[in-house]
A and B are shown apart, each in its own frame.
Chain A
């Protein structure tokens, strides 16, 4: 290895400067701190063993706290917020020798599926600038898809890594709940949130997951289980593969080209010798309403902290309650307000049992659907999204329609299981299509193994967007 870390960081920074104006993936480019860390690594590297991701530039979704630069959450409220600490996942990346080169765009507080809810402008899809990159981790995904970086971190509450990965033709993982510490991830819905790795291929996801996964005493919901070397597990013989396909994930509204690409992926697995069988997820029709009751309820509570006292922009008022209300009104965008209102409503006296408690019971049924399904299959295969990337502005005035874009994704977050999206083809118009595989809780090693088999047998990753050659 002759290239210095500084050289590869300079190359990434140049590439970001050239490409970012075309897609607005990065909210902040961390040139100074990236160079500083790179030089320090180059000086120390002579006497240290190089870890697999040593010197690799990475983009971080801007709801993950970093000491370097700002952490805005895509919100006007936190325009100038600087975190006094690094998230645990960030500490681990740094310890592995990775270099943070930028903070990536997102829907405000990760609420949305298109990055159109960012206070700092939409992220454009690297394959078609008229279309959304997806969301909420749209900036992190577009940074990888446009070749600015090979790695990024996103976060998921209900599909926010898998959905944009599908829209932009890269690979994205939602780890099982508790696999990765949430310490330093700005909370949206605490029983659903999880930081997820993003890379071009599954091998990249495996490499990154091994770095960020593991128990953290600062997050009592992080699971205390050993972290395998996920990348070396990819080379292990997967043995007989049992793939479950649920009719509920191929229902009306599924785009014909998406359906065709996913059916072709099923054939690939059949040719690899997999046993493809039908499974049932009978409570699927309740997933989206269940998800939106729970995530808005938790969000209304979590976002109470943004009151204009300890951080964020304060609006002046005569009394303290007026100050809270005015600061929050001035700082939050339309979708965040809507979700806070909805969450407050479903938790309020008189509605709590009909909405919130009911949703928690339905969540039990959804979780059981998956437990039962995984008794007869290793992974569940489906499209990641019902359609390819939609046009910017197409759904912005209809929040409900936007919510339905996550229809195949939210169940994994409700059930706490893991799921991955990998590219599985393109539409005739050249838009990427994503294949989703879901595995049982803490089943990442097997899930990635099975997804890796598919990538080895196909060549969808060789195609690159035109922006790639900028």
Chain B
């Protein structure tokens, strides 16, 4: 198998000019598009392994490109360059069908790590709709209902604070990925205050207690010492 083909879509030429070579050095082969229509046509004609899609494009915005691809039955993984923190964003994200979100400005190495994680998931479950589009996420007897904001284990509803639930949701949307505290804080709380990382630990403790997950021998959430957390159990989308 050759190097994965990435379509990089951003109208900012100053960014793509620097970013494309970095991605190439990381072992990907990169194609660049500067607007949504070109990107959409390109993907229809030539299959790529992953699309990095900016949200604000001159013609079709990133959301629309993604929606049209999904409507055309093309399930190429998409990493959208925007942030998702508010409930409203989360509801939109259910419909647009991206696989992951990253906010600008980002560290190029972070983008590379995300690309690898999404490609890994896509290889494991080819042609499966991304977890972000599922209204329910399931692992074993644990089911998280993203619309109803409810978690059930073995049919019993678990008591979780809204933010712990949002955190568990984020963990389940990114299974088998090392999630740094700062990233969780940015994604779930929408904050970048370094002192607040302690808040992440408090909510993780709450989730573990509710799930009866032993931190020493975790089934669900593993601590990555000094860095963050990883959701261990395999997660599948439940589509109704």
Q: Do A and B originate from a single complex?
A: no
Q: Which residues of A are at the interface with B, using a C-beta cutoff of 8 A? A: none
Q: Which residues of B are at the interface with A, using a C-beta cutoff of 8 A? A: none
